[in-house]
Amino acid sequence: MLVRGTDTRIFRTSSMGWRVAVVLAAVMALTMLLAVTPGTADAQVRAEERARQADSTMLAGRALPEKVVQALVAVEDSRFYSHPGIDGRGAGRAVLGFLNGDGDAGGSTLNQQLAKHLYTGGRSEYLDKLVQVVVALKMDVRYDKDQILRMYLDTVDFGPGYRGVVDASRGYFGVDPEDLDWSRAALLAGLLQAPSLYDPRVNPGLALDRRNHVLDRLVATGVLGEAQADAYKQLPVGLG
């Protein structure tokens, strides 16, 4: 007959064995995915081709528009500068959402969104999402954060007829993106979740609600003070 202490040791050993097995399986799966998913040496070439397809203006030779970048990071991927291409917290929420039957529960970083556009044709099927995760990791190894932001801002759709931040800023407001104030930068960043829904020309009320949410995120991430954000919330859409 086994004593209680022996039972406990057997349970702990068994539990440890399962944990090791799970870790090894995850490492093997990641190794396989790294081998079979695309490399990212051609990411910038793909970004240029995507911009050419839409006949859009790229940021080449220009500084990143700082206000747009900060608004984008605040609302889309607040841990962008600290994660390795994927966000563990967001990925956990996405897994829980998937298990609960919500196939699009969020969790995509800017890297993953860029991988979606450049490497999986904009698709969001489960296998595509796996590819996006691995490609996102690869891009974070090969490119610095500013390069990833530049490719993202050059290739993402801001609404009907506007691919890339330069054309979107000029099209909506009549100015270059580096000249936007916080209100307009927040509005542009807010468009990306659903460009047609938040189109300020079609749904100005929804566009302002979304802009105000982005301004709140800028407060939450310490970029703006509450008084500053409140002042910008009073401004109209301000289309050019």
Least confident of 9-13, 63-67, 151-155: 9-13
Helix (H, G, I), strand (E, B) or coil at 105: coil
Q: Three-class SS of residue 162? A: strand
Q: Could you give the angle at the alpha carbon of 58 between the alpha carbons of 52 and 60, nearest 5°? A: 125
Instruction: Give 30's pLDDT tier (boundaries 50, 70, 90).
Output: low
Burial class (CB in 10 A: 0-12, 13-18, 19+), 120: buried
- pLDDT for residue 105 is more than 80: no
Answer whether residue 4 shows pLDDT above 60: no
Polymer length of the chain:
240
- In this predicted structure, the answer to whether residue 38 has a pLDDT above a threshold of 60 is yes
pLDDT digits (tens, 9 = 90+) for 42-65: 999 999 999 999 999 999 889 999
CATH number of 65-233: 1.10.3810.10
Q: What is the pTM of this model?
A: 0.83
Mean pLDDT of all residues belonging to the chain: 87
CA atoms of 117 and 178, how far apart (whole Å): 24
Task: Dig out the tokens for 12 from the structure.
Answer: 């702990």
**Angle between the N-to-C axes of helices 204-220 and 226-233, in degrees from 0 to 180, rounded to the nearest 10:** 170
Say which residues have a Cβ less than 8 Å from residue 168's Cβ, sequence separation at least 6. 158, 159, 162, 177, 188, 191
Q: Average of pLDDT values for 207-226? A: 98
HEC readout, 126-194: HHHHHHHHHHHHHHHHHCCHHHHHHHHHHHCEEECCEECHHHHHHHHHCCCHHHCCHHHHHHHHHHCCC
Structure tokens at 220: 């939450």
Residues 108/80, Cβ–Cβ less than 8 Å: no
| Domain segments of the chain as ranges | 1-35, 65-233
